[in-house]
Amino acid sequence: MSDSQPQRRPGFYEFFCGGGMARAGLGDAWRCLFANDCDPRKARAYADNWGAAEFRLADVATLRPVELPGRADLAWASFPCQDLSLAGAGAGLSGARSSAFWGFHALLRALGAEGRAPRLVALENVLGLLTSKGGADFAALCRALADLGCRFGALTIDAAHFVPQSRPRLFLVALSEEVAPPEELTAPGPVAPYAAPALRRAVDALPAALAARWLWWRLPPPPRVNRTLLDCLDPAPDDAQWLNASKTQALLAALSKASRVELETARAAGERRVAALFRRTRADGVRAEARFDGLAGCLRTPAGGSSRQFLLDIEGGTARARLIGAREAARLMGLPDSYRLPVRRNEAYHLLGDGVVAPVVRFLSENLLLPLVQAERSSARPPEPRSRAIPSGRRRGADAAVA
C-alpha cells in the first residue's frame, strides 16, 4: 500500500470486555469486530455505550470461531483477576474465575487452525499473576502464548502516571513469531519504569525454551498526570452523602497510626486537603488508611472492599467523610463524563472495579500496538497451524534496567 493510500484501521476482538473500557482506550484508531462478556449487567453497560452490534453475551469457553468475523489484528483480554490477586484466595489460573483464560486460549488456537489467529494478543491482569503459585502460573501463561506461535513480553504500568489512582497492572503483549518487531520497540533488558522487580524475577525464572521467546518491550517515558484526586470530585454528588458526625468519628478512630499523623498535619495546615480513605483487615482488626498524596487507592469491586473508598475532606481543622461517587470513580478510570454508568451505585462500582484504565490502553496502543500492527502488515507470512510442547529448563537473566 502506498503512502498516499489511506490505511485500513486495524480490527480487534475484546474479551472479558465489561463496559468496553479497553475499547474506550483504543479509540477511533481501531475497529471493534467482536466483543464478549458473560455478565448480563456489564452487557447492559456495554450496549449503553457502544451498541450491541458487535457484542455477544456468553461464556468465552462456549464461543466457536464461526461466531467471530474476519481476522482481527488484536485480541485484547482483561481476564478475571480474582484468583490471582494478592487479596484473593490464591487459587491461581486453576481457580473458578481466572481459569476463564483457558477458554480464551482454546478459542485462539481454534482460530489459528483456520488461519485466522489475531496478529497480536494483549493480556491485562494484576501483578499477583507474577507470583501466583510461586511463579508457575506466569510460566503457564507464557507457555500458552508460545503454544499459539508467539513471542511475548510484559510491562508493569501504574495508572497513577495517567490518572489520580494508584493501580499497578501487568500487560503482556504477544506477537506472531512470523513478525520481526521493529528494533526501536525492543530493548536488550528491562526498561524502567516498566519492569517491576517481581517481573524481572519472574522472567529470570522462566524455563529456557520460554525465555528464548521473551521480548523486553521499549516504551517512551510515561506522561506526568495533570489531575489530582480533588480535580475528579463533584461538590455534591447525588449518590454519595456526607456521613453524620458519629459515623465520621468512628471512621477516624479506626485510622492507622501513620494516617492519624498525616490527618493532624493536614488539620494544622489550615488549607483544604482531600484524602482517599479505605479500610483494611489487619491482625488487630479492621484499620482505616488514608493517603494524602493526591491519589485514590486502587478501585476494586464492592466485594473486594476498596472500591468503597471514602473521601476525607479536611478544611479549617474540620474533617468530614463520604464515599466516592460512581461518576468520580469513572473519572479515576479515565472515562469521560459522557460514559454512561449503571444507575445503581454498587453496579457501577462493580463495572469500574473490574475495568482497565482507558488512558493506559491508549498509551499502549499509540506506542506499541499500532506500531506492531504496521510492522506485521509489512512482514507477516501466513501462519501454519501448530501445537508445541515447551520443554522445561531455566535461564539466567540480566537485572539491569535499560534507560
Q: Cα–Cα distance between 356 and 159 in angstroms, integer?
A: 9
- Do 335 and 373 fall within a single domain? no
Residue 96 has what pLDDT?
A: 47
pTM for the model stands at 0.88
The whole-number pLDDT of residue 184 equals: 96
Indicate if 179 and 310 belong to the same structural domain: no
Q: What percentage of the chain's residues is helix, strand, coil (to nearest 5)?
A: 35, 20, 45
* Residue ranges making up the domain that contains 291: 229-352
In angstroms, rounded to a whole number, what is the distance separating the alpha carbons of residues 59 and 394?
Answer: 36
In 139-292, DSSP assigns E strands to 150-158, 168-176, 186-187, 216-217, 273-282, 285-291
Residue 395 covered by a domain: no
pLDDT of residue 396: 33
29 and 108 in a single domain? The answer is yes
The number of folded domains in the chain is 2
Residues 163 and 259 in one domain: no
pLDDT at 4: 38
Residue 244 lies in a domain: yes
Alpha carbon separation from 302 to 168, 246, 343 (Å, rounded):
19, 23, 15
For each of the chain's 403 residues, which pLDDT tens digit applies? 334 344 689 999 999 999 999 999 999 999 999 999 999 999 999 999 999 999 999 999 999 999 999 999 999 999 876 544 544 455 555 554 557 889 999 999 999 999 999 999 999 999 999 998 899 999 999 999 999 999 999 999 999 999 999 999 999 999 999 889 999 999 999 999 999 999 999 999 999 999 999 999 999 999 988 899 999 999 878 888 999 999 999 999 999 999 999 999 999 988 899 999 988 766 666 788 999 999 999 998 776 545 578 999 999 889 999 999 999 999 999 999 999 999 999 999 999 999 999 999 999 999 999 999 988 777 655 545 444 444 333 333 333 334 3
Q: Is residue 330 part of a domain?
A: yes
In Å, what is the CA distance from 128 to each residue of 260, 275, 294, 302, 323?
30, 26, 25, 19, 27
Q: Which of 68, 75, 70 is nearest to 105 (CA)?
A: 75
Peptide bond into 237 cis (omega under 30): no
pLDDT at residue 133 in the model: 87
- Same domain as 284, residue 200: no
